[in-house]
Amino acid sequence: MAVRNSLSGQLLRRSSVVAGARFMSSWFRSIEPAPKDPILGVTEAFLADQSPNKVNVGVGAYRDDNGKPVVLECVREAERRIAGSQFMEYLPIGGSIKMVEESLKLAYGENSEFIKDKRIGAVQALSGTGACRLFAAFQHRFHPNSQIYIPVPTWANHHNIWRDAGVPMKTFRYYHPETRGLDFSGLMEDIKNAPDGSFFLLHACAHNPTGVDPSEEQWREISSLIKIKGHFPFFDMAYQGFASGDPERDAKAIRIFLEDGHLIGLAQSYAKNMGLYGQRVGCLSVLCEDEKQAVAVKSQLQLLARPMYSNPPVHGALIVSTVLGDPELKNLWLKEVKVMADRIIGMRATLRENLEKLGSPLPWQHITNQIGMFCYSGLTPEQVDRMTNEFHIYMTRNGRISMAGLNTGNVGYVANAIHEVTKSA
């Protein structure tokens, strides 16, 4: 009897082990590889190409005229001051108070009444992506039946962010392919037809991927209609200073909405305008009706951030607060960000000039009419494929060109390739 019980126990344990192993082996069996990110996939293909003529105009990261990454001198000096003088303790959930204060002054204005009245609930965020993601979670929690209207086209990650936050998305017209400019009438019609009280995602400046921004007068009309409809404007501002070389000019859309009495949400990033791509430093702010409401909003943003990432990183925040908080370093930054913006603007002019000199029958004024890191070239996916396969020039298939990838050594080559793939169009 004892032997039988022992054998039965062994068989039961063995079958349990086999069943458990079979169950565990099936946990991840059905998972398929995720599709490659279209932008990062361009870089992978570029790196694998052995051609000496290869050019990467796919990724939105600034390069100097030698094609090299740049660390701003104001950032180097800030790092020298920080080194050995700061502890590496946890920041509060809301991040660096000093960095947030300087960010608000940059966006809302040095002497903003909203800052003085403490009407802005704001936290440090993981660059612009993190700021958008945190706001999307905030929208989902406190307006669970709302949706967000996103421009066509927009930065691809916007769709991922609001989708993963569980917020339904709709779109509004923005880019006009025939003119390669703004579809202003379509945009206004879609704002008007959206249900009252909808959320709208707006690019504050240097629209990604098109480089097409509304004029000041158009921004005023957009602001007026959004106010009439009771919509909530959420701005993604990834390029303040980098677009025109003037941070005040690049914040004009936001200032117009503030003048018109809107409550707004705002995502800021220091990836492009300070070159702090890998530091992941940004700010999320929400303008509220009063100080009490701002305190409540900030507390809820912190509550959402706690299980996401607990608290933001310290080093990038120290750099930003040091640069913006010191008059000498801030002036240096203003000069350096203008140098970056001017180089991009210069490359636009040179690319257009080269195309026109080649005798292209197509109009290319949109290259210089657009602004910021990206040029929406108008190239079709098939033409982009030819650019890659025949000329080893890499970009996303929507025809977006990162102007930072151009320099005096390759702009002529790229212009010639564009001419070759479009001359029969």
Question: Using an 8 Å Cβ cutoff, are 283 and 131 in contact?
Answer: yes
Q: Which of these is catalytic: 190, 236, 298, 364?
A: 236
User: How many beta carbons lie within 10 A of that of residue 410, not counting itself?
Assistant: 18
Q: Which of these is catalytic: 162, 213, 219, 272?
A: 272
Q: How far apart are CA 270 and CA 242, in angstroms?
A: 10
Pairing of the two strands 282-287 and 374-376 = unpaired
Of the candidates 314, 316, 296, 313, the one whose C-alpha atom is nearest the C-alpha of residue 304 is: 296
Q: How far apart are CA 417 and CA 410, in angstroms?
A: 11
Q: How far apart are CA 152 and CA 167, in angstroms?
A: 17
Is 155 a known active-site residue? yes
Q: Exposed (0-12), middle (13-18) or buried (19+): which is 149, by Cβ within 10 Å?
A: buried
Q: Helix (H, G, I), strand (E, B), or coil: what is residue 1?
A: coil
Is 219 a known active-site residue? no
Q: How far apart are CA 137 and CA 267, in angstroms?
A: 13
Q: Exposed (0-12), middle (13-18) or buried (19+): which is 187, by Cβ within 10 Å?
A: buried
User: Which residues share a beta bridge with 149?
Assistant: 170, 200
What's CA 419's distance to the chain center, in Å? 30
Question: Using an 8 Å Cβ cutoff, are 234 and 200 in contact?
Answer: yes
| Strand order from edge to edge, sheet including 199-203 | 120-125, 282-287, 265-269, 232-237, 199-203, 148-152, 169-173
Of the candidates 373, 287, 369, the one whose C-alpha atom is nearest the C-alpha of residue 115 is: 287
Is 236 a known active-site residue? yes
Q: How far apart are CA 320 and CA 125, in angstroms?
A: 13
Q: How far is CA 313 from CA 12, 101, 113, 155, 306, in A?
A: 51, 17, 29, 25, 13
Q: Exposed (0-12), middle (13-18) or buried (19+): which is 389, by Cβ within 10 Å?
A: exposed
- What b-and-e string marks burial along 50-74, b requiring 16 or more CB atoms within 10 Å of the CB? eeeebbbbbbbbbbeeeeeebebeb
Active-site annotation, residues: 155, 236, 272
